[in-house]
Amino acid sequence: MGIKISKVYRPMAAFAVLALALSACGGGNGGGGDGGGAASQNLDSRGPITYVQGKDNSEVIRPLVDKWNAAHPDEQVTFKEQSDKADQQHDDLVQRFQAKNGDYDVASVDVVWTAEFAAKGWLQPLKDTMAVDTTGFLPATVAAATYKDTLYAAPQTSDGGILYYRKDLVPTPPKTWEEMMGMCSIAKEKGIDCYAGQLAQYEGLTVNVAEAINTAGGTIVDKDGKATVDAPEARAGLNNLVQAYKDGNIPKQAVTYQEEQGRASFQDGKLMFLRNWPYVYNLAKTDGASKVKDTFGIAPLPGKDGPGSSSLGGHSLAISVDSKNKATAKDFVSFMISEETQKFYATQGSLAPVLESLYSDAALVEKLPYLPVLLTSIQNAVPRPVTPFYPAVTLAIQQNSFAAINGSKSVDQAMTDMQAAISAAGAK
């Protein structure tokens, strides 16, 4: 680096060099690493890259990658498809990024992983020559891809919870949780299950519990990041899920459901109400196996007095700080978030655009009647806690809420333990 250390100031200067060297290692201590030296490498390099994301349920990625590859013979993209399970996707990315060999160039990163990965110094800051255009994007999607005032990923698709319901059985969807519980007698008469979301012990449970808590007027953390789950409103929120499970309004097997198991049950006509993400819409309409093609409707999540609050979901495209071909990676990211591509995500996969204007694009809205409901859901969505220590925070929520739902802990005990565990995780 050619830094000269004068004799007089040696101790201080040596400290400064050490600090520089440490930051060049990319942190790993939650210090908001910028990838250090690696972030300035390979910015102009072009060549083959690998794109990784979770299972392409809606079959949107392969056609896009084919389109890109046809136009870029020397910059081919290989699509690495992970499983459909959020936690497995996360752990796979952690292992690869930790190895620092750059074998994942571009990765689809869940909104709740940005802070963790950025703090570890694994993501290329998208600034200067690596900047991407996010003009007109929903502000919450950009905020979710930003850590310590730097954009670390490009918003790709957003996500908000929606209530899928059987309009042949329930002509008017419930507006409140209580109303929905009241309608469960209809499901019982028909011999089908009433309500399910994602209650297996994984990230989806955190999503569903956070929604129950927020809808009841509680919060997980306050604006300073301090845990607030021992407040009465938060307890009341979890209690709604616990009670519904006890009563059988949420079926026993629902504690094994991630997104896809709930979708299967709903499409099979065995579930009256399903909390899920927008991707289910197109599949439930078009899947050969769907028995509810013409009989399901969508509505905002039911709340306390009116619509409930959704957890903010979604994914952003990050470039690995160790990618060997960052110029190609950046162009591919720009292609994957372009307006045209976003329209394709919406029409082909009923995925939520990040470009706000698409929600009022007349032609699109005519084709996709779920867009207005979705926009309301996303605009009112509440982010999960933003912290580099998110893995420990989400584990605290999952373990304790799962114990309360399956009856091995009281709601009070679960919330007391959750409060302690979130605080210990260092959220604040």
Footprint of ligand GLC (CB under 6 A): 86, 110-112, 159, 203-204, 207, 259, 277, 313-315
What is the b/e burial string over 95-125, where b = at least 16 CB atoms within 10 angstroms of the residue's CB?
ebbeeeebbbbbbbbbbbbbbbbbbbbbbbb
Report the nearest approach of ligand GLC to the CB of residue 318 (Å): 14
Residue number with CB closer to ligand GLC (111 or 283) = 111
Q: Tell me, what DSSP letter sits at residue 383?
A: P
Of 269, 262, 79, 58, give the one whose Cα is nearest residue 162.
262
Of 334, 363, 368, give the one whose Cα is nearest residue 352.
368
Residue number with CB closer to ligand GLC (116 or 322) = 116
Of 385, 396, 411, give the one whose Cα is nearest residue 238.
411
First to last CA, the chain: 37
Of 28, 39, 27, 23, give the one whose Cα is nearest residue 329.
39
CA distance 73 to 45: 15
The residue to which tokens 């939650």 are assigned: 30
Which residues is 155 bridged to in the sheet? 316
Q: Residues 51, 37: contact at Cβ < 8 Å? A: no
Report the nearest approach of ligand GLC to the CB of residue 168 (Å): 28
Residue number with CB closer to ligand GLC (235 or 315) = 315
Residue number with CB closer to ligand GLC (24 or 93) = 93
Q: Tell me, what DSSP letter sits at residue 195?
A: E
Q: Does an H or E element contain 159, and which?
A: strand 154-159
The residue of the chain with the least Cβ separation from ligand GLC equals 313
Sequence letter at residue 93: L
Residue number with CB closer to ligand GLC (75 or 159) = 159
Report the nearest approach of ligand GLC to the CB of residue 379 (Å): 16
Look at strands 313-319 and 193-196 and give their pairing.
Answer: unpaired
Report the nearest approach of ligand GLC to the CB of residue 30 (Å): 21
Report the nearest approach of ligand GLC to the CB of residue 345 (Å): 12
Report the nearest approach of ligand GLC to the CB of residue 144 (Å): 9
Residue number with CB closer to ligand GLC (184 or 425) = 425
Sequence letter at residue 176: T
Report the nearest approach of ligand GLC to the CB of residue 124 (Å): 21
Residue number with CB closer to ligand GLC (325 or 342) = 342
Tokens of 244: 């519904």
Residue number with CB closer to ligand GLC (110 or 211) = 110
Report the nearest approach of ligand GLC to the CB of residue 251 (Å): 19
